[in-house]
């Protein structure tokens, strides 16, 4: 079973940057462990204990990132139709129920950050928007059972 995860180019590059920063943190952690060992009795050495706990967290995150990078599918936005909503699209919608215009950036599920307007293509609203064009109306059912109607005003990359 494949664990493919879809990313925008920017999202994938962010993963690579995080991996680089993580590798630097691992090297620093190795030095911290070595320094803490020099303090003596490890059974009562809080610096050593903290550094080892950090080592475990860093190793876990490194494995997680390696898996994400290995299974990444980067969407080639240049090959996509700009007029159709897809991953990488910026979509301006009019929420009929709220009488409010909002812009969303459709991203892969691992890049989602709703508080900054980045919504997953697999979220209820994102899934309802994918494949639509300006002028279309998308209906999304939210987790609480409420339906929202979104009139697509514009889409761009």
CA separation for the pair 136, 37 (Å, rounded): 64
Predicted structure pTM score: 0.68
**Residue ranges, CATH 1.10.287.180, the chain:** 5-74
Task: List the chain pLDDT tens, one digit each, 157 residues.
Answer: 457 788 888 889 999 999 999 999 999 999 999 998 888 777 778 889 899 999 999 999 999 999 999 998 888 767 777 789 988 899 999 999 999 999 999 998 888 899 999 999 999 999 999 999 999 999 999 999 999 999 999 999 8
Q: In whole angstroms, how far apart are CA 51 and each of 24, 28, 61, 91, 129? A: 15, 10, 15, 45, 46
CATH of the structural domain 5-74, one choice from 1.10.10.10, 3.90.850.10, 1.10.287.180, 1.20.210.10: 1.10.287.180
Beta bridge partners of 14: none
77-156: CATH topology: Chitinase A; domain 3 (3.10.50)
């Amino acid at each position: 079973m494949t664990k493919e995860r879809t990313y925008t180019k920017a999202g994938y590059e962010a993963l690579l940057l995080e991996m680089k920063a993580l590798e630097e943190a691992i090297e620093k952690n190795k030095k911290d462990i070595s320094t803490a060992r020099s303090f003596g009795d490890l059974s009562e050495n809080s610096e050593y204990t903290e550094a080892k706990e950090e080592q475990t967290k860093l190793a876990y995150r490194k494995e997680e990132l390696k898996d994400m990078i290995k299974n990444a599918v980067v969407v080639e936005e240049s090959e996509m139709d700009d007029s159709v909503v897809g991953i990488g699209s910026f979509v301006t919608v009019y929420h009929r129920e709220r009488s409010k215009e909002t812009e969303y950036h459709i991203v892969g599920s691992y890049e989602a950050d709703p508080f900054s307007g980045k919504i997953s293509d697999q979220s209820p609203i994102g899934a309802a928007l994918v494949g639509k064009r300006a002028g279309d109306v998308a209906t999304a059912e939210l987790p609480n059972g409420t339906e929202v109607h979104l009139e697509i005003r514009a889409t761009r990359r």
